[in-house]
Amino acid sequence: MSPAGPRVAEAGRGTLRALKRTARAVGITRGRAAAARMVTERYALAVSGRTRVRPGGRILCYHSLGEPSYGVNDVSPARFRRQIDAALWAGYRFVPADVIAETGGTPHDLAITFDDACKSVLTVGAPILSALGLPWSLFVVSGWCEAIGTGRSDAYLSWREVEALATAGAQIGSHSVTHPNFGTLAPDQAADELARSRETIGRRLGIEPTSFAIPLGQSMNWSPAAHRLAGEAGYRTIYAQAEETRPAGTVARSFVTRFDDAIVFRGLLRGRFDAWEEWV
């Protein structure tokens, strides 16, 4: 490197630090920048993206309903209800997720799933879906449920609450022990997350889940080794994210975000996000 090289490199780092300070000063954070990019991309695809004609059904993935701390994955209760009503009005039939996973379903089949077991699934989602007689699935992070009542966290459902939902008809699946990125886990860590979550759910609920939803959900968050280990742990169905980018052997879901108004939600049902991933 020439004598000027270190000075140029340091100047570049100084410029970057200055830009970051300026961004923070005007209220631009990494999270806000990511959210702005997400809403821009989803609107653009909803309006002008390519419609995908599907031979089968579509599985929707929600997280929280009216919990702003969940950021881009939080959908307001009113918007959630409007989305369900819009789908019913359009002639969609809601079926259990495993029907679509195992048979493919029909082009007018939809399934509803929730990740993480947020409190609002019990207080908001379940009453709406129960009143309409619609089936749905819940993917539980077992370690988060274990922490309820210990003073460490009360943001998620307790085992008693999960059991009540299961008794009422919700299908229960695993979402790991600690919600890690399986794309970077060592094989022994991945095996522990998969087996221990299934064992804990079985012990707590008397249900041995055969479905697993990949934490973070994208192609980079799963590996062939993790897929093999999931099968060895007893899982038959692995849920991922986008239709066209998901890892081999997984079942696609379509993530619903806080930005999905009527226009964006129609775009989602038409497959305009089937090649789009949430954080890439």
Q: What is the mean pLDDT of each run of 10 residues along the chain (280 residues)?
A: 48 45 43 80 94 93 96 96 98 98 96 97 98 98 88 82 97 98 97 98 96 95 97 98 93 96 97 84
Q: How many CB atoms lie within 10 A of CB 44?
A: 12
Output the pLDDT for position 36.
86
Which residue type, as a one-letter code, is found at position 165? L
CA-to-CA distance for 168 and 150, rounded, in angstroms? 26
| Residues 123 and 79 sit within 8 Å (Cβ to Cβ) | no
Output the pLDDT for position 280.
55
Output the pLDDT for position 150.
65
CA-to-CA distance for 160 and 145, rounded, in angstroms? 10
Output the pLDDT for position 22.
41
CA-to-CA distance for 240 and 26, rounded, in angstroms? 36
Output the pLDDT for position 15.
46
Helix/strand/coil for 249: coil
CA-to-CA distance for 222 and 217, rounded, in angstroms? 8
Output the pLDDT for position 37.
86
Output the pLDDT for position 14.
52
Output the pLDDT for position 31.
55
Half-sphere exposure of 117 (CA within 13 A, CB side): 36
Output the pLDDT for position 103.
96
CA-to-CA distance for 247 and 1, rounded, in angstroms? 42
Output the pLDDT for position 28.
39
Please give the structure tokens belonging to residue 47: 């309006």
Please give the structure tokens belonging to residue 19: 């830009």
Output the pLDDT for position 4.
52
Which residue type, as a one-letter code, is found at position 127? P
Output the pLDDT for position 278.
75
The per-residue DSSP string of 51-75 comes to PPPPSS-EEEEE-EES-GGGGGGEE
Nearest to 255 by CA among 99, 41, 15, 56: 41
CA-to-CA distance for 60 and 248, rounded, in angstroms? 19
Nearest to 148 by CA among 159, 133, 137, 136: 159
